[in-house]
Chains A and B, each alone.
Chain A
């Protein structure tokens, strides 16, 4: 939660009154998200990437692959980890010295859902059982922060991973020496795709004076006492839950909040999938040469 005031007492009252009459600062209702715009495959050097705008919040996710040895504990699984970096984002300054903690917490939450076997199958990252696997980095940088970074990051991550091109490999097993050699295919048009159908999205539900709202902006955060971030799969199941905001909740609120999340989660999931498909269709139109890419909304879906 921000430590520098972003709204005066009277402004906060105005916001709370608005939320209570189900009419928020930008005219949205309590269960409405700001418009999501995304463009996938925007960075040449990454295996998969996504630029996502959720209202004023802009995040960029890049997926890169690294070849490593499997760990002893899980010999037939690859590894995947997410980082969130907000050091380039001026509007995160409202967190003061807490900024690193905040982005860190988001990356931790993302890691939880990535390492949950029910959300992401890490076996698909294994190259040779007990020998080699992929270490996948999902690096998210925050370009602008105007609230609800959790959800934006998870959307961007899912979009980027679903568009990620896994380099195809040639594994040759030498029977005599029992050595395994792995070669990367030269053909850039030969690649695999990751299965991310189970990957959840984060839905942050905030409680403002008894009303549960989603996708809060910065100003709305200043009146939020408690917020729970849910990881919701496309079937509505909850796979992750954590609270922030420094307030407490009773059981009734808790229940209705998880209902809200599991209602909205599948909707956002399918919206995201639609957008990813549209973006895929749009890619050949602009390729990688459009210099206005990051600025022009026309390039987004």
Chain B
């Protein structure tokens, strides 16, 4: 993997596991990625990463690790199993996540009561392999995530491309649903799953969703132009991932416009990927888009 090209992190203090963070254990609280050694006098790091200090809380934030869910994150998951009253979902986190039937807007409106039939028909709404966009509702003690799709923005994802990236590249922002000017919708799942689909699916079906809850399949075929845009975006996001460039709507658009100089199938060639990644970084440094 090429080195991370992003710079400007020298001011952060980086540690390796076992580094003494502080001897003053009474004044600091143990956060993620730290442990108290056996003498209980030293606070040490347990992961490699940069030190994060929030008031008295001392954490070490690792660079690339499996996704750790937080309440409110927008994520994308794939249904692994249909259980009695819930779906078991793969969300790229340590443990499987759950989407309870009660946390889903079913066809027929939000306030419908759940009946036994719904339990029996669960596979009709979502079955093994299907993708959903959802929000994390609860993070349980052991790290299992409970999801919900009550908001009409969430729900089953239809046709499009899923790109898997490092979850650390997707930071939580106000909006995770982007209708890009190039003519595609991108959902940045905080768990590193990024969904690219044609714009109609998200905007036009906003009204539809009131009736279907997003669980009814649209039969429209995607035009070749839309497909080309989606594919180009997918290739571009894969380049961002490869070069560890944080993924925001701005960075996606930057690399997208840079890639327009090349054919779509050229953008999977390593040489072109290198050029595109460097161009994107250059433009981003000029504008200074991301914090």
Interchain CB contact under 8 A, B224 and A25: no
Chain A residues with CB under 8 Å of B235's CB are 26-27
Query: Is B231's beta carbon under 8 Å from chain A?
Result: yes
Distance in Å from the Cβ of B166 to the closest Cβ of chain A?
A: 15
Query: Is B167's beta carbon under 8 Å from chain A?
Result: no
A-binding segment of B9-17, B53-61, B112-120, B152-160: B152-160
List residues 1-60 of chain A with CB under 8 A from any CB of chain B: 5-11, 13-14, 17-18, 21, 23, 25-29, 32, 34-35, 37, 55
Q: Which residue of A lies closest to B1 (CB)?
A: A295
Interchain CB contact under 8 A, A17 and B221: yes
Q: Which residue of B lies closest to A53 (CB)?
A: B270
Interchain CB contact under 8 A, B232 and A27: yes
Chain A residues with CB under 8 Å of B130's CB are 8-10
Query: Is A66's beta carbon under 8 Å from chain B?
Result: no
Interchain CB contact under 8 A, B224 and A297: no
Query: Is B18's beta carbon under 8 Å from chain A?
Result: no
Q: Which residue of A lies closest to B224 (CB)?
A: A21
Given contacts A8-B131, A10-B159, A23-B231, contact A37 B270 (CB under 8 A): yes
Interchain CB contact under 8 A, A26 and B231: yes
Interchain CB contact under 8 A, B2 and A27: no
CA distance A295 to B157 in the complex (A): 35
A-binding segment of B19-27, B202-210, B261-269: B261-269
Query: Is B176's beta carbon under 8 Å from chain A?
Result: no
Query: Is A291's beta carbon under 8 Å from chain B?
Result: no
Query: Is A175's beta carbon under 8 Å from chain B?
Result: no
Query: Is A296's beta carbon under 8 Å from chain B?
Result: yes
Chain B residues with CB under 8 Å of A18's CB are 227, 231
Chain B residues with CB under 8 Å of A32's CB are 265
CA distance A279 to B155 in the complex (A): 49
Interchain CB contact under 8 A, A23 and B222: no
Interchain CB contact under 8 A, A27 and B265: yes
Given contacts A11-B131, A14-B159, A26-B234, contact A35 B268 (CB under 8 A): yes
Q: Which residue of A lies closest to B130 (CB)?
A: A8
> Which label, helix, strand, loop or mixed, suits the secondary structure of the A interface?
loop
Interchain CB contact under 8 A, A14 and B161: yes
For B78, B127, B268, which residue has the most chain A Cβ atoms within 10 angstroms? Answer: B268
Interchain CB contact under 8 A, B160 and A27: no
Distance in Å from the Cβ of A13 to the closest Cβ of chain B?
A: 6
Given contacts A8-B129, A9-B130, A34-B268, contact A23 B157 (CB under 8 A): no
Distance in Å from the Cβ of B82 to the closest Cβ of chain A?
A: 12
Query: Is B228's beta carbon under 8 Å from chain A?
Result: yes
Given contacts A10-B217, A17-B221, contact A27 B270 (CB under 8 A): no
Given contacts A25-B231, A297-B270, contact A10 B128 (CB under 8 A): no
- When the two chains form the complex, which single residue of B159, B264, B269 contacts A35, counting CB atoms closer than 8 Å? B269
For B264, B265, B267, B270, which residue has the most chain A Cβ atoms within 10 angstroms? Answer: B265
CA distance A26 to B158 in the complex (A): 18
- When the two chains form the complex, which single residue of A21, A34, A35, A296 contacts B2, counting CB atoms closer than 8 Å? A296
Chain B residues with CB under 8 Å of A14's CB are 159-161, 222
Distance in Å from the Cβ of A11 to the closest Cβ of chain B?
A: 7
Interchain CB contact under 8 A, B234 and A35: no
Chain B residues with CB under 8 Å of A17's CB are 159, 221-222, 227
Query: Is B162's beta carbon under 8 Å from chain A?
Result: yes
Chain B residues with CB under 8 Å of A295's CB are 1-2
Interchain CB contact under 8 A, A9 and B129: yes
CA distance A292 to B1 in the complex (A): 9
Q: Which residue of B lies closest to A37 (CB)?
A: B270
Chain B residues with CB under 8 Å of A5's CB are 78, 128-129
Chain B residues with CB under 8 Å of A35's CB are 268-270
CA distance A10 to B269 in the complex (A): 28
Interchain CB contact under 8 A, B159 and A28: no
Interchain CB contact under 8 A, A10 and B157: yes
Q: Which residue of B lies closest to A22 (CB)?
A: B224
Q: Which residue of A lies closest to B232 (CB)?
A: A27
Q: Which residue of A lies closest to B231 (CB)?
A: A27
Chain B residues with CB under 8 Å of A297's CB are 2, 270, 274
List residues 187-236 of chain B with CB under 8 A from any CB of chain A: 217, 221-222, 224, 227-228, 231-232, 234-235
CA distance A23 to B234 in the complex (A): 13
CA distance A36 to B160 in the complex (A): 26
CA distance A14 to B157 in the complex (A): 12
CA distance A7 to B129 in the complex (A): 6
Given contacts A8-B78, A11-B162, contact A29 B265 (CB under 8 A): yes
CA distance A296 to B134 in the complex (A): 37
Interchain CB contact under 8 A, A25 and B129: no
Interchain CB contact under 8 A, B268 and A11: no
CA distance A73 to B161 in the complex (A): 55
CA distance A296 to B268 in the complex (A): 16
List residues 55-110 of chain A with CB under 8 A from any CB of chain B: 55
CA distance A27 to B264 in the complex (A): 6
CA distance A296 to B273 in the complex (A): 13
- When the two chains form the complex, which single residue of B157, B263, B274 contacts A27, counting CB atoms closer than 8 Å? B263
Chain A residues with CB under 8 Å of B157's CB are 8, 10
- Show 6 A/B contacts (Cβ-Cβ < 8 Å), sorted by A: A5-B78, A6-B129, A9-B129, A11-B162, A14-B159, A27-B264
Closest 8 CB pairs of A and B: A5-B129, A27-B264, A27-B265, A14-B159, A8-B130, A297-B270, A10-B158, A8-B129
Known: A11-B160, A26-B231. 4 other contacts (CB 8 A): A8-B131, A10-B130, A27-B235, A27-B263
